[in-house]
Structure 1
Amino acid sequence: MAETHTVQPGDRAIAYLTLTPSAAVLLLLVAVPTITVIGISLQDVGFGEMSGPWIGLENFAWALTSRTFWTALKNTFVWVFGSVSLEMMLGLGLALLLNRTFALRGVARAIILAPYLIPTVVAVLVWRYMFHDIVGILNYMLMSVGLISKPMVWLASTSTAMLSVIIVGVWKFFPFVVIALLGILQSIPQEQYEAAEIDGASAFQQFWRITLPHILPVFLLTALLRTIWTFHKFEIIYLLTGGGPLDSTTTLPILVYIKGFADFELGRAAAIALITFFILVVLLAVYFGFMKRAEARQ
């Protein structure tokens, strides 16, 4: 019989003393900046200032009635949905492929993971040259196979700028999805697939009945993490387009930067940042609600 251990008051005191330093650091790193941003959002604060006239919720009212804000919000959802959905589909397909046994599988894994290891600034600058309308290799390749008749201005056109930044984002971060899903795929017992083959199950039936139930929790968690990280991703869009042309790629993080460091309106920038935070909290609540329902059905 397993021996049970009763928690003594001294044990609790030691646990609290052990956790106190971490809790204090977490409080300094999270709570203090958050409270500061909330305070700034309720004031008319300019650049280089830490306080200003108290204006209440006027910054939030401006954001919710501003055409610029709603354009940025729409662009943010397009950027996030486009990037994350493509990352998840591409990552799942490549993870299933890399989970199979074939020659030079280790080399293939290293090549696929390479984009995730390259510094973002370096990757974006390389892609800027690739998108260049005159010397870019992308236009050259598309014209060589006859898909386009003249060079496209990828980053300076409102019709292709968002597509361009989504392509770069997917290329840079889909390896994270591959890593996450490949780990859980390798933990699935092979005996289940062997039994399914004996029963005459097709490849799709094996995926639907065996693979998908095993990887679904990790798949959803990975999608949630990528959604959160992509939602406040700044450097890719800023380095590629700066939010242009004509605000066609201005997302909420870009708008926060513009308001805070170009227009010197830190109060409005803080308000936009808090609204972004509230949107992410809602997404988290939806995710955890979905997970609780899924666990209740099992």
Structure 2
Amino acid sequence: MLETRAALEGDRTLAYATLAPSVVFLVLLAGVPTITVFVTAMQDIGMGDMSGPYVGFENFVWALTSESFYTALWNTFIWVFGSVSIEMVLGLGLALLLNKTFAVRGIARAVILAPYLVPTVVAVLTWRYMFHDIVGIINAGLIATGLIDKPLLWLNSESLAMTSVILVGVWKFFPFAVIALLGILQAIPQEQYEAAKIDGASSMQQFWRITLPYVMPVFLLTALLRTIWTFHKFEIIYLMTGGGPLDATTTLPILVYLKAFTDFEFGRAAAVAILTFGILGILLGLYFMLIKRAEARQ
């Protein structure tokens, strides 16, 4: 008994010693920048300054009373909800299709997964050209089919700019949802479908009673990951519109960048970044609640 306990203690000590370097590295990698951001948010720091006057929570008060912050917050919710919801619905539909057996399934999978492999900069520059009001193929196609009679200003219109960047984001990242959901679909026991068919269940009933309960935990987890990544996504919007026109696509990450490197107000930029982190933490908590409920029902 004592020898067993001593062996367990030895294994535990070895495990802690093995993990210690990684823990120290992660603390330095994530902890030091986080503390630096908090310290910066408490100061009035401009371009080239290592430190500045201590202003307490003044930068947070500015953010919470600023119209630009709430505009960016609203734009962020539209960007995240629009992108993630379309990605997940489209991803589930295509995953169900690719899970079936047909002649060119391998080619279809390769074509659908191709956008995820294209570098973001290349994808954005291509889409910017396609959205061009004069030489863009999108306006040319819409005019040729008679859907519009004059070119639309996709990236220069307050009403269309957000729609444009959402379409680009969905095109670029929906394959991630397809990959995740296709994996869980292929893991569902086929015996359940065969038993359901014998009992006379329709395709829709099989989807609601068998497919959806199996898929839901992975669906929510994938939506969680896409929400995190989309919430702080910067390059697509910045390269497409720069946050314009007239703040129509200015999200919280874009606002942080503009306050820091356009207005040179690093304290306010840090305050917005911390508030963004807090909002994302609340969203993550809600997602985890939904995931636990989905797992409990399975």
TM-score (norm 2): 0.96
**Which residue number corresponds to residue 126 of structure 2?**
126
| Equivalent position of 1:78 in the other structure | 78
- Cα 1:143/1:5, change in 2 over 3 Å: farther
CA distance 1:216–1:295, change in 2 (3 Å): closer
1:199 is matched with: 199
Write out aligned runs for 1:7-26 (5 A): 8-26=8-26
Q: Which residue of 2 aligns with 1:182?
A: 182
CA contact (8 A) 2:42 2:55 kept: yes
Query: What does the per-residue CA deviation read over 1:139-197, in whole Å, with 9 as the maximum and x for residues that have no partner?
Result: 01111111101000100000100000000000000000000000000000111111111
1:195-274 mapped onto 2 (5 Å cutoff): 195-274=195-274
Shift of 1:62: 0.2
Match of 2:53 in 1: 53
- Which residue pairs with 1:106 in the alignment? 106
Aligned to 2:103, what secondary structure does the other structure show? Answer: coil
Q: Distance in 2 between matches of 1:89 and 1:115?
A: 17
Residues of 1 paired with 2:176 and 2:41: CA distance?
Answer: 35
1:207 Cα deviation after fit: 0.4
Instruction: Supply the distance in 2 between the matched residues of 1:290 and 1:219 (Cα, whole angstroms).
Output: 11
Alpha-carbon distance, 1:294 to partner: 4.0
Q: Is it true that 1:91 corresponds to 2:91 in the alignment? A: yes
For the 8 Å contact 1:45–1:51, the answer to whether it is kept is yes
Query: Which consecutive residues of structure 1, in runs of 5 or more, have no partner in the other structure?
Result: none
Instruction: Tell me the residue number matched to 2:142.
Output: 142
Q: Tell me the percent identity.
A: 73
Q: Is the 8 A contact 1:80 1:230 kept in 2?
A: yes
Q: Quick one: distance in 2 between partners of 1:250 and 1:230?
A: 14
1:110-146 CA-partner distances (Å, limit 9, x unpaired) = 0000000000000000000000000000001111111
- Quick check: 2:216–2:294 contact (8 Å CA) kept in 1? no
Name the counterpart of 1:43: 43
- Looking at structure 2, the residues matched to 7 and 284 of structure 1 have their Cα atoms a distance apart, in angstroms, of 39
Distance 2:196 2:20 in 1: 52
Describe the shift of the 1:295–1:191 C-alpha distance in structure 2 as closer, same or farther (beyond 3 A).
closer
Letter in 2 for 1:14: L
| TM superposition shift of 1:289 | 2.3
C-alpha distance in 2, partners of 1:126/1:45?
38
- Structure 2's unaligned 5+ residue stretches are none
Distance 1:205 1:251, change over 3 A: same
Cross-structure match for 2:117 = 117
Q: Please give the per-residue CA displacement for 1:8-63, whole angstroms capped at 9, x wherever unaligned.
A: 22212111110011001101111111001010001111122231110000000000
Give yes or no for contact 1:43–1:55 (8 Å, CA) kept in 2: yes
- State the distance in 2 between where 1:87 and 1:5 align: 51
Q: Residues 40 and 50 of structure 1 are in contact (CA less than 8 Å); yes or no, is this contact kept in structure 2?
A: no
Q: Hey, what does 1:151 align to over in structure 2?
A: 151
1: CA distance, partners of 2:288 / 2:98? 30
Taking structure 1 as the reference length, the TM-score comes to 0.96
1:293, distance to aligned residue in structure 2 (A): 3.7
Deviations 1:95-117 (A, max 9, x none): 00000000110110000000000
CA RMSD in angstroms, aligned pairs only: 1.3
CA 180–14 in structure 1, closer or farther in 2 if over 3 Å, else same: same
